[in-house]
Each structure stands twice: as structure tokens, then as C-alpha cells.
Amino acid sequence: MKTRLKTGLLLCGGVLGGSAAVAAQKQPNILLVLSDDQSAFAVGCYGNADIRTPNLDRFASEGVRFNRAYATSPQSVPSRASIIKQIALFLIVLTTLLPGLSATAQQTPAADRVTMYTFSDGLSDQLQELTGNPLLHRYAQTRERLSSGKYRPLYHFSAPEGRLNDPNGLCYWNGNWHLFYQAYPIENPIAHWGHAYSPDLIHWKDLPIAIAPSIEERVYSGSTLIQGDSVIAMYRGVGQGEMVAVSRDPLLLNWRKPAANPVIPDLDPEKEQPVFARGGDPFLWYCDKLYYAILGGYSDSGPDGKRMFAEYLYRSPDLLRWEYLHPFIDADPYAFVGDDGACPYFYPIGNGDEHILLHFSHKSGGKYLIGNYDTQLQKFIVTDGGNFNHGPAKGGGIHAPSACPDGKGGIVVLFNTNPGFPRKDDFSEMMTLPRLLTWEEGALRVRPWDAVESLRRDHIRLEHIAVLANQETILDGITGDALEISMEIDLGKTKTFELSVLRSPDGQEHTRILFQRDMGKPTREYENHTPTSTITIDNTHGSRSPLFASRPPETAELSFAKGEKLKLRVFIDRSIVEVFVNDRQSVTLRTYPERDDSKGISVRTAGNGAEILSLDAWRMESIWTDASRQTRRSADGTRSQQSADGLPTHEIHKTYKNR
């Protein structure tokens, strides 16, 4: 573990343990080293090939790298003043040095900032340094302390401490998946980029804070681009504009920000182009030897100047010099008045020309658009679209996405979910399970990521269960608040099938999952018309707590063929329920049962009976028990999503020709 050397005056007083001669002496030799303006990235032995630091490099060659050296200021002038005045840095009133500041202005104490660390370049060294990292030790203690929380998930990712807002920059690098997210450290609870990694997108390990505010006020949402031996992050730096940072090490622990930041400064409102109202949360890609970025936001082009969805396109030859081109989408027929296009992710999907643009609307929640990318006009032509969230954006629904190609034409995506309950035990938001999106036969398919099956324990299987009409059937023997349930149902003549989970013995608390074939109505045959079915998740009776606020039932549409069997996969994890229907639709909801015995399962139909052909249930294991497991192939023989012949890549756009 190495504390990051802050830009400023480096003051090192320590034991030189690099030579046998020194180590052999009974008394340590103390050497005071002064080095002005030497951050870790401005020292030769840390990899800078241009700046010469022969004395520090000589120490390093003999094994002395001052691994625990630090500066309490990122600027040289206050550091010099601290030595000259012999006063602790944070007690120096800067008005004596920098005219124009208020009389009470003082340097912020280092204790109010998050400690950032610099790690070695090799993987084995990094893993060793992480074992002694004090922040990770604190994270582990906090996770252990909060693990028994009533609503804290067992197998969905949540932050080790504090809030978890937008996920950012999901990528596959050096054999691991990396998840970044807006974290709010207890030392300085404003947005940073938190960081975790996983071999399979399911079992996660925490890493130290990846990117902290410097000139920007907060580190907001953005994306990553893998290019050669580098991972480039581009994100919204609040108060400055769009920022970039670069990492090249095995675990993406060390990030460097160029002096040119912000590379896309915030626009001057007086000079702002009329089309703009707001843009940010950049998504970055590379195409035909140029970098492109879309900034998600909105315009004032709606009725009476109301907000409308917008994505703004920029182009750069080198990541540092950017020019604004135009709105990336001319028309979005799937947007509502009041929508915006925050947190965009834009990738090819399927084996044809289709692309998908995932984004978040502060009004509608997670959404997507399907269309064609015209690389000559640099426009996205929308042909289809839909929602991942099917109710209000707030109050327990799906929030912002973070996505990455799976290397086979699919897209893996996670969302954060909003709380529907006052924050307790220093916990509120969590991630959904990772999902695989595919484009098949002109429709978007969605299914859980295969590796979630590695969490299954204590299998129970039931077959040929008769469900009598208009009667609730309690499934004895299947109980729990951390389960996966997989069902195949022959609906027969019934239009309605209902599954209740997290059910109390008397039924006062339950979360209802309702499938209605042809919307529960008699089928009418129309030429060129396919009746629409729906899946609903409803937490109206999910909790008796007066603190709980239910949301309107979440209802999503899907196509369902005549005579088709209903296939449900339901994931229950204490305060979240996720439902996948025939690989065509999904609904997700937060729910907060108050009673400790609200762990039961029941089914019922309306009008006519049905038959559950098979029901498989598993108790799900914690994702924090063993991060070394690899993805297992699905029992039904579906493709492995972790094979070496199709690794994810972010450089996909550059292979596309002008059309």
C-alpha cells in the first residue's frame, strides 16, 4: 500500500531500509528530503520519462521509494509556507499568501478528504498491497457489521458504506469486470468514483476510490473506453465540464488526469449555442481514427419550451481538443415531454446494423432506443425503443444503466435501483443483477447473466402442481427472503396467473407478481394484430411499516403466442424483487416487508385453473463469500458468457463502414 504523493512539496522523514549497511546499524539514520512539486507522476522512478529526478531515482534503485510519504496540500506555496512558518498547514490563513480570499479562508485539513493511494504496476504487487490497505479494511468491517441488516441485499451489489448512485464505466479489463459507481465516502460525502472488480460479474471485491474530485466539485457520471494498453474514463466534473482520466495498471487502481482538464469546459451561458439546455454524463467511443462523445441531457424544444430528451455529439482527434457537431438524434418518438437523456451508453447490438442507446430519464427511469448509426452523417436513426423502468423514476424503481458489450453481439447491463424506504443502517441503493440484452428476430431480449446460477444452493423441485381457479395455493416448503424461483406454467384457458412472494402467513404482507395474457381480456382475432400481454409487480401490500411508501404497480407489455408456456424467473433478495418473463421482458421493484415471517410463496389464477409444469427454487448464497468462482455453463446448454473466443471490447465502433 502506497499513499499517493499529492502534487506539492514532498516532505519525507523516515527510515532508509534499502541497504544492508543501514539496516545493520542499531540506530536508524534519519534523512530529511525536500522535493518541490513532485507528485507521483512527476518522478522518474514512478514512470515519468521526461522529468529528471536523479536523486529520488537513485534512492529507488537501492530500494527506497518513500512509500508512505505524503503532502497535506496539492499546491507548493502552502507547503513552503508551512515549513517556513513552522505551523501546521491547515492552520495557515491563505489570505497572507493569496490576496483576494476572504479573511477566514483556510486550507482544508487532509482529514476532510479521502485518502488516495498509489499502487505498484504489477498485479502480484497490487494484490499484496491491497491486503494491507486501510480503506479496504474499513470496508470489510463495515460490510460485516451491516450484513445482517433487514433490507441489505445478500447477492445484489451494494456500496460498502454510504450511498450508491449511478453506476459508471462498466468494462472488462485484464480478465476482470470493473464496476465504477458514484460513491459518497464518509470522510467527504460528495460524489467520487467508487470501484469494485469481479471475475464473473456476480462475486465482487471492493477496491479503493478510483477517481476523486480535484479541480471539479464532484465526480459525476461517465463511461470508459479501452484502447490498446489504456483505459480512458470520461466523466462529468461538476463545476468544470467534461473530464478525462487514464489508467494502465492491471486492476485500474492508478488514474492520471491530464492538465488539459476539463477537455470540454462548461459553456458560457451568454455564448451558449441555442440548441443547448443541458448536457453531461459523456459516453466515449472511437470510430475511423477519431474520438466521439455524446453528452446526455435535454433541450427546451418541447411544447411551450418544456424539456425534451437530447444527446449532443462531440468529436476530437486526441481526447483533448473537442468540437461540438450537432444533436445526435433528430427525433425520438419514444420520449415523453419532460424526459432527458442522462447516462447514455451507445453500442452495436446483434449481428446486423442495429445499435442500442441506453440512458436514464429523470422522469421515466431507465430507457433504451434501437436504431441505425449513420457514420457518414454521424446521426443515430431511431427505429424502436422501450423502457426498463415502468413507473415513476423515483421510489423504488430502476435508475441509471452502466453497460458493456459481451463480445458476441450482446450487451451486459446493470442498473442502480432507487430506495422506497427511509435510509437505515447507512444503506439505501443497490444494483440490479447483471442482465444480457440481445437483439433477436427484430426484438430486444433480456435475461439474467448466466453466472448468477453459481449462487444456487439447496435445490427444491416440484412438478405438475394443479392451481385451482380463484383459490390461493400456498407452496409449503419454499420460504425465504434470498431466493431464485424458476417456473414453467401451462396456463390452459386462464388469462391470469398470480405469484405472491415475501408473504406473511396471514397474507397481510406480500409482493404480488401478476401475468395477464392478452391483458386478461377475451382474445379477439384481428388481421395483422398480435394481442399484448402484461407482467405486473405490485408492492401495495409489501409492508405494514408506516415509513414505507408503495408505488403504483409496475406493468410492462410483452408479446405472448397462443399456446405458449409461461416461463418466470424470479429473484428475491430481502428488499428487491426482479422478474424475467420468457426472456422478453423484466420488471424490478424495491419492497420492504416489516414482519420477520414474511418469507412465504403462494400462487393463484382467476377464472380458470392452470398447471405448474415445473418449479425450481434455490436458496441464494452471498456474493461476498468467494470471488474466485467462474461462470458455469447453464443447465439448458446456453452459451457461456465468459469464453475466451469472444471477450468484450470497447473498440467496436471503429470497424463500422460509412453507410
Domain range annotation of the chain: 10-105, 123-448, 457-523+530-621
181 and 194 in contact (C-beta within 8 Å)?
A: yes
pLDDT score, position 572: 99
- Distance between CA atoms of residues 66 and 69, nearest Å: 5
Q: Which neighbouring-strand residues pair with 615?
A: 462, 487
Tell me the C-alpha distance between 339 and 441, whole Å. Answer: 29
∠ CA 600-602-604, nearest 5°, is 165
pLDDT at 510: 98
Answer yes or no: are the C-beta atoms of 552 and 575 closer than 8 Å: no
Long-range contacts of 264-272 (CB under 8 A, 24+ apart): 264/293, 264/295, 264/314, 264/322, 265/240, 265/241, 266/239, 266/240, 266/241
What's the CATH class of domain 123-448? mainly beta
What Cα–Cα distance (Å) separates residue 241 from each residue in 34, 184, 338, 401?
35, 20, 23, 21
269-274-275 Cα angle (round to 5): 115
Residues in the chain: 659
How far apart CA 118 and CA 253 sit, in angstroms, is 7
Rounded to whole angstroms, the Cα distance separating 223 from 221 reads: 7
The reported pLDDT for the residue numbered 421 is: 79
- Which pLDDT score is estimated for 209? 98
Cell of 300: 427546451
Of the candidates 14, 2, 7, which has an alpha carbon nearest to the alpha carbon of residue 79?
A: 7
Q: What residues have CB less than 8 Å from 367, skipping those under 6 apart? A: 334, 339, 358, 359, 360, 361, 385, 386, 387, 388, 389
Q: What is the CATH number of domain 457-523+530-621?
A: 2.60.120.560
> Looking at residue 514, what is its pLDDT?
98
Average pLDDT along the chain, 659 residues, taken 10 residues at a time: 36 39 57 67 63 76 64 56 51 34 33 84 97 96 92 96 94 98 94 98 98 96 97 96 97 97 81 61 96 92 85 96 94 85 97 95 94 96 95 86 97 94 74 98 97 98 97 96 99 97 98 92 58 94 88 92 96 98 97 97 97 98 65 32 40 34
- CA distance linking residue 430 with residue 166, whole number of Å: 10
Specify the pLDDT at position 443.
95
Say which residue the cell 433541450 belongs to. Answer: 299
Nearest to 489 by CA among 620, 609, 601, 586: 609
Distances (CA, A) of 159 to 430, 434, 435: 7, 16, 19
Taking a C-beta distance cutoff of 8 angstroms, is the pair 357, 368 a contact?
Answer: yes
Give pLDDT, residue 102: 32
Question: What grid cell was written down for 179?
Answer: 464496476
DSSP 3-state assignment of 138?
helix
Full DSSP string of 12-27 = EEEE--SSHHHHHSSS
Q: What are phi and psi of 478, to 5 degrees?
A: -115, 100
Of the CA atoms within 13 Å of residue 170, those in its CB half-sphere come to 28
Which residue from 204, 207, 206, 254 is spatially nearest to 233, judged by alpha carbons?
254
DSSP of 88-105, one letter per residue?
-GGGSBGGGTSTTS-TT-
CA distance 639 to 626: 23
By the 8 A CB rule, do 203 and 622 touch?
no
* pLDDT value for 47: 57
